[in-house]
Amino acid sequence: MLRLDRGRWKRLSAVPLVAAIVAVLVVPGPSQSTASPPAGLECLTAGDNAFELTATGGYAAMPDGNTIYMWSYAAGGGAFQLPGPTLCVTSGVKVTVVLHNSLPEPTSITFPGQVQVLADGQPAQPETDAAGTLTSLTTTAAANTGSVTYTFTAGPPGTYLYQSGTDAQKQVQMGLYGALVVRPAGHPERENDRADSAFDRDREYLYLLGEIDPDLHLAVERKRAYDFTRYKARYFTINGRSMPDTIAPNHADWLPAQPYGALIHIRPYDPVGNPKPALIRYLNAGSVSYPFHPHGSDEQLIARDGRPAQGPGGQDLSYSNFLIDVAPGQTVDTLMIWKDAEHWDPQGNPIPVPLPSLQDQIVGPGPETWFAENPYLGGEPGELPPGVVQNNQCGEYYHVAHSHALEQATNYGASFGGMMTLIRIDPPAGCPA
């Protein structure tokens, strides 16, 4: 049973309402975000595929009230955000990324999966110190006011990380990472060049998975040395947030530096009314594997590291899996549909289902009930025990999705939290506004 701060739950209980009223947001500047959905992927795009990122510091909020000093890439000269903005381009175009560095040490960006990357017009090169020790995997921007311009031609369609290549053990952990989405030319509705990778563009999600060792971050903030043999991650994040903040909408006002939520919001599959699956892009910016498990529905793994799951002759090698295991530095793309296998009818449910015990429901600390793993909870008034108030809007279902490494589903060891979110499935006709 989850027992969480009443105020935070109260604010999160407004998620559906907020989702219905959030206005379209557009970030001005030479590059811009596409319409900002209340949930799902938010792209930073540019007409000339030229982006400006600033490596800077700021603070991220954890659900237990802690705040963590982080480094990340801000869009242009904008405010600190975690993670960096999701850059969206089309395969085959020339991409330019200008990195400005406001950090007190050199830093850089690597683009795994992209080839022939230039830095200030020259091939990007590793750097070493005076003793010949490798200090950076690629060309750096100098500390405090340096800059460097990277250019490359966007590779095959898929999902990629971008992250620091300088003192990567520290700088990536500090938060210098983001996502690069490369779309197929002429087919933005597909994940890759295969026709069977088509998805519902209104149901595209990104899970950028990460971890935080607060002792490292405190040492960096206070300019102290840190012993990496003592490294231990205490917080685990999806898009820079931990549960329950993962289910809050994009741009929740109480998370000003963590703009991206991780709530999946779909309707049941219908061959006529809702035939296309959702697309979920997983990326691992951490140091260990994250075995991610969505309850309620398996997902079809269609690509890994920007390469479709297919044989040498183009055979479809995608497969259904209940566990999406994402190794450090990897990306995995999946398609997801949810089928109403038992044909739920809110007016005349033919399947008698006993109300689960309170121990099996998410409750409280007051009388509020969010859901149980009983798909029929919330459908009919009077089903709940006296005094218990449900937060379901219209009989929608919620399934948990979380890391199966249970330590990763905690906030500093306190269950449940961390790398966990919800999948919301509305009734077939949708949910009234």
Q: What are phi and psi of 136, to 5 degrees?
A: -155, 140
pLDDT tens for 99-111 read: 999 999 999 999 9
Confidence (pLDDT) at 3 = 34
Q: How confident is the model at residue 5 (pLDDT cuts 50, 70, 90)?
A: very low
**Structure token digits, residue 239:** 């898009």
Give the pLDDT score at 366.
62
Mean pLDDT within 334-359: 69
CB burial of residue 15 (10 Å; 0-12, 13-18, 19+): buried
Which of 384, 381, 429, 382 minimizes the C-alpha distance to 372?
384
Residue 119, strand partner residues? 122, 150
Residue carrying structure tokens 């003793």: 131
CA distance 380 to 389: 12
Q: Which residue has the tokens 């102290």?
A: 224
Grade residue 420 by pLDDT with cuts at 50, 70 and 90: very high
Report the distance separating Cα 399 and Cα 264, nearest Å. Answer: 10
The strand order across the sheet containing 118-119 reads: 67-75, 50-61, 94-101, 147-153, 118-119, 122-123
Under the banding of pLDDT at 50, 70 and 90, the label for residue 125 is: very high
Q: What is the pLDDT of residue 85?
A: 98
Name the token pair of 113: 């999966």
DSSP string, 386-399: TT-EE--SSS-EEE
pLDDT at 397 over 90: no
pLDDT tier, 170 (very low <50, low <70, confident <90, very high otherwise): very high
pLDDT above 70: percentage of residues in the chain: 79
Kindly state the average pLDDT of the residues 309-332.
96
Look up residue 250 and give its DSSP letter. Answer: T
Measured CA to CA, the distance from residue 73 to residue 51 in angstroms comes to: 11
Distances from the Cα of 371 to the Cα of 11, 236, 247, 374, angstroms? 17, 23, 14, 8
pLDDT digits (tens, 9 = 90+) for 24-50: 222 334 466 555 678 899 999 999 999
Task: Report pLDDT for 27.
Answer: 31
Residue-wise pLDDT tens digits, 208-265:
999 999 999 999 999 999 999 999 999 999 999 999 999 999 999 999 999 999 999 9
Q: What is the mean pLDDT of residues 178-182?
A: 98
Question: Minimal CA–CA distance to 206: which of 331, 90, 30, 295?
Answer: 331
In the predicted structure, residue 178 carries a pLDDT above the cut 80: yes
Rounded mean pLDDT of 83-100?
A: 98
The residue type found at 129 is D
Strand order through the sheet with 368-372:
361-363, 368-372, 389-390
How confident is the model at residue 286, as a pLDDT?
A: 97
What is the pTM assigned to this prediction? Answer: 0.87
Rounded to whole angstroms, the Cα distance separating 282 from 195 reads 21
Q: Are 378 and 395 in contact (CB under 8 A)?
A: yes
Of 373, 375, 396, 400, nearest in space to 246 by CA: 400
